[in-house]
Every structure is written in structure tokens, then in C-alpha cells.
Chain A
Amino acid sequence: MPNPFNPAAYAEAAAALIGLPLSPAHLPGVAANLGVAAQMAAIVMAVPLTPADEAAPVFVPARPPA
């Protein structure tokens, strides 16, 4: 079993990875929002997808000549 999710610990570790200084005063709000995001992520991760389910944005190299 994975460890239970600790939003504050995750926020501090991930912020260090991307070079984001995270003020201790902002940490509780960030952790709370990560908690909401985790609830939303649980919903999307539960959707059964197949290898044929492509992502929504389709890269277009340029508009074809008219």
C-alpha cells in the first residue's frame, strides 16, 4: 500500500523540485487546494480509458495552405 497522501509534505518537496519558494504562511492554503485537486484526480483516474483514447489537444504544425 502506498503511504497516505500528505499534501503539505508533497507541496514542499514538489516546490523544491521546480524552484518555487513556498512561504510557510501559504502552505496551508496550498495543501488544502492540493487536497481538492486530489479528489478531482481520483475521479479522472477512475475513468476507464483504452490505448485508443487520445488526449484532447491535437498538435497542428500550421494551418494548411488555403
Chain B
Amino acid sequence: MSLPVSAAAIAADIRARRRSAVAVAEAALAAIAAGDPALNAFTHIDRDRALRSAAAVDAAIAAGGDPGPLAGVPFAVKNLFDLEGVTTLAGSKIEVGQPAATRDAFLVRRLLAAGAVPMGALNMDEYAYGFTTENAHYGPAHNPHDLARMAGGSSGGSAAAVAGGLVPITLGSDTNGSIRVPSAMCGIFGIKPTYGRLSRTGSYLFAASFDHLGPFARTLEDLALTYDALQGPDPEDPAQTPTPFAPVSGLAGIEGLRIAVATGHFGRNAHPEALAAVGVFAQALGATATIDLPLAAAGRAAAFLITMAEGGNLHFPDLVARPQDFDPATRDRFLAGTLLPALWLQQAQRVRAAWRAQALAAFEHVDCFLTPTLPCVAPLIGQASMVVDGETLPTRPMLGVFTQPISCIGLPAMAVPLARPDGMPLSVQLVAAPWREDILFRVAQALVAAGVAAAPEVTA
């Protein structure tokens, strides 16, 4: 039996007893066994737990109960989420040998409560510090559309597993773009909700003042279904802002929404095809307005510095005691992050507030703005530099050029894939005001309905 395409279809089949959760879990395990050697998306496959969880779903249905909206849907999580009984690696070698987690992360518990079935843990950049998932310890994650290319990062395994059809939904984290960048490279939907929307309890943090968690899916319907299941109050997360449950499943209609294309920083720094994707979406939406956000580049720079400093401070004991055990790519950034002048950091924190004020003022005139998610299609694995606007630049930091300003100030943002019959995936970032994820889902639904947004089929 092959794995059905969507989470919604799987849950509908299982709730209607057209197939069993155990049969779906076995199909997912078979898909992972067949597909993962090429993708290197999984770092841990938990067959026993998957089958045990699936059997519990089937038992609940047999007893006349409803296991929830994600009944029997296989999922997997970036390996910085705690899974009970498994050591949380956060992409590192240093954490190997640490005690296993004694409790699932909050968002894992939410998915389990909705009936979903956990398959295991996924590859990532070490300690989430990267946009490429070229992990020196566990190997690179490969892009399902072209195995020679990056899956993106830091949640590369989360995007590759979904795009490659191993599981319909996954979870990842996004500090500077780590959900949106791999979603874009692999041509799927991913949402970074408002900072403070979803609990982070039980995840290995990176730069806490920017850390967000969120879902990945091949369809907008699945993304909404998953996001709705993830919402819930958690007094244990000091960064969560208590908000009422705000479901997005089934939202549609963009009447009255003011949609604009971001210019300035967001209209340069990119290859023409990335900018052209924004034009396709703008045309489909009838969006002719533009918006300039002059502090976006400064916001990106502020996020860059604060991230370095927070990460460097977090890992300082290991940087002193065992620097040789870090991934070389992340180690040197963390080391440099311990050495930044306080003057820069405090300025960055004040610029962050000024950028937030500018963006919030802009939302008095627009409800949603569009940017490219990435400056380019997925680069080749190992590609150290890229040419943008005639300038040769290091690939890694450039990949966050459009996502980093947005997470800097906690705005909700969604990576939406351009429907494309061939070629590597392209993606557009939708951005809304804080707590307006509903607007992102409405605009994305309009793009899907217009036939311009969809996850491209993997043909490789």
C-alpha cells in the first residue's frame, strides 16, 4: 500500500475505517525505508513507537471513540524536539550520550492528542545554526527535487521528508528562517507563526528571543490542520503569549484585504526568477500596491548579531571545554559570537525595536505583504558562494536575507510554493501583522484556488 498524499485524506480514511492506522504506519515506515537513504532526512526512526501509537488509534476507533483530527497521520520532528525515550541531539555530536528525554515536547504532545503517529526525528544544522543542513556529523539532507542540491536549513530534514513523500507533516524550528528556507528549497508549505504563539517547551533552543516552532506540509489544508492542532496554552513556556484558540482550517476569501509587494531590500538581493515568482502571485491576487520598509536590512543585521551572541553564550561551556566536537561550520560562528562588543548588541536591540515600530506602522496601510522567500533556487550541496546583483557573496548568510528581517520582529510568515511543472521550486513569503496568521492562510488559499500555488511534484 502506498502512502496517501495528504494528512487530511489519511485522517478521513482512518476515521471512516477505510484503512487502519497500523496499515498507514507500516506504509510510512516502508516509504521511509525506501526513500530516506537518498534524502538523509531521518536521524532516528522509531518503528516500535510508531506501531504502538497507531495501534492505540485503531483501538480508540474500535471502541467507538474519536482519536482526533489527525487520526493515524504519520509525522516526524526536527531532532531538537524532545521525544520521550530518545536523546535530543539538536544536530550535534556533543549531546550524544546525554540522558534520553523523559517527556515529549509540548507540540509533540499536541499532535499525539490529535491522533497523529510519531515516526522519528529529522536531520538539521547543528544546534539550528545554519540554512543548509550540511551537517558534518550526520551528513547533508538532500533535496528531493535534485539530490545534488541542498534541502535548506536548519530544518532540512523536516522539509525533505515532506517533499519526498516520507511523511505528510513535520515540525521544525525557525530562528532566522529555518522553517521558511527549507520549505522554499523543497517546494512545500511552511509557517512560522507569530513569536509567542506556539509553546517551545521541550525543544532545544538556539537564540531564545527569536526561536519559533511550526509545521511543514505539502498542502495548505494539511498545514492548517496541523497548525490548528498545535495551538494551546502552556504555562511552562515563558515566551508564549496567552491568546485565544484561533483556528485557520477552512479560511478563504481575500475581500477587503490590502495586499502589497515589498520593495527596497525585498526587491533586490535576489535572482530574477525569485522576484518573478512574487510577480506571479501579485498578479493572481490583483495586488498592485508596493510597500517600502527601509529598516528591513538593519533588522536583518540586528538579528544576525543578536543570534550570534545568544548562541555563543548558550554554548560557551562546550566552546571552552570541547570546541573540536562542534561542526566546524557552526563552531566558528559560535566562537565569534562570544566575542562581540556589547556596544553592537545593545545597538542591535534598539534597532530591533525601531524596525518593529516601522513594520507595525506599515500594517496600518497593508494587511499582508509579499517577498521572495529565498534569493535563489536551492544551491548545490557544498556551494560556498553565489552571485547576486553582480556581486559574489557567501551562500550561507545570503539564504536568510529575506526571512531574517521578519523573524527578527516576530511577524507571522508563510513560505508558499509556486506551482511549477518543471525546474527547481520557487517560493514566496507572505507576511502579516502579529497574531494575524488567519490572513496568511486566507491569502495562501486564494493563491491555491487561482492555481498558482502548489507543491511541485517530485519527479527526480
Name A's B-contacting residues (CB within 8 A): 10-11, 14-15, 18-23, 26, 29-30, 32-34, 36-37, 40-41, 43-47, 49, 53-57
Contacts and interface: CB of A to CB of B under 8 A. Distances in A.
Interface of B: 209, 295, 297-298, 301-302, 304-305, 308, 316, 319-320, 323-324, 328, 331-333, 335-341, 344, 346-354, 356, 394, 397
Given A29-B332, A53-B354, A11 B339 contact: yes
A55 B332 contact: no
A47 B354 contact: yes
A55 B350 contact: yes
Nearest to A15: B339
Residue from the set B316, B320, B339, B341 with the largest chain A CB neighbour count within 10 Å = B339
A44 B319 contact: no
Contacts of B304: 36-37, 40
Contacts of A30: 332, 335-336, 339
Contacts of A26: 323, 331-332, 335
A33 B308 CA distance: 10
Contacts of B394: 36
Looking at chain B's contact residues, the main secondary structure is: helix
Contacts of B339: 10-11, 14-15, 18, 20, 30, 34
A7 B323 CA distance: 19
A36 to B, nearest CB: 7
30 contacts: A10-B339, A14-B339, A15-B339, A18-B338, A19-B320, A29-B332, A30-B339, A32-B332, A33-B308, A33-B333, A36-B394, A40-B301, A40-B304, A41-B340, A41-B348, A43-B297, A43-B301, A44-B301, A44-B344, A45-B347, A47-B347, A47-B351, A49-B354, A53-B353, A53-B354, A55-B352, A55-B353, A56-B209, A56-B356, A57-B209
A27 B410 CA distance: 34
Nearest to B397: A36
Given A49-B354, A54-B350, A56-B349, A34 B209 contact: no
Contacts of A53: 350, 353-354
The 5 A-B residue pairs whose C-beta atoms are closest, nearest first, are A29-B332, A33-B336, A55-B349, A43-B301, A40-B301
Nearest to B336: A33
Contacts of B354: 47, 49, 53
A54 B356 CA distance: 12
B323 A41 contact: no
